[in-house]
Amino acid sequence: MGKNQILQKVLNIVLWLTGIIVSLSVSFGMINGTLGLPNWLGGMTVASIAGWIVLATTLLGVILAIIDYFN
């Protein structure tokens, strides 16, 4: 394995983990009320639902990525 391939794999892992951390941060912020939406877009109710959707899809993506890695 060449030096560029190793660097590419490490960079891919770092970027993937960064995306997961950001997604989890946003979802928990929306669920807990730290991040919200204006009232004309549905307010905290819609933000909370969107937060749960982001959380569920993020966890599903992590599980599928792990399954794909080991297959």
pTM: 0.84
At 24-37, the pLDDT tens digits run 999 999 999 999 99
Contact 28, 51 (CB under 8 A): yes
Q: Say what the pLDDT of residue 60 is.
A: 97
> Tens place of pLDDT for every residue, the chain, 71 residues?
788 899 999 999 999 999 999 999 999 999 999 999 999 999 999 999 999 999 999 999 999 999 998 98
Angle at 29 between CA 26 and CA 35, to 5 degrees: 95
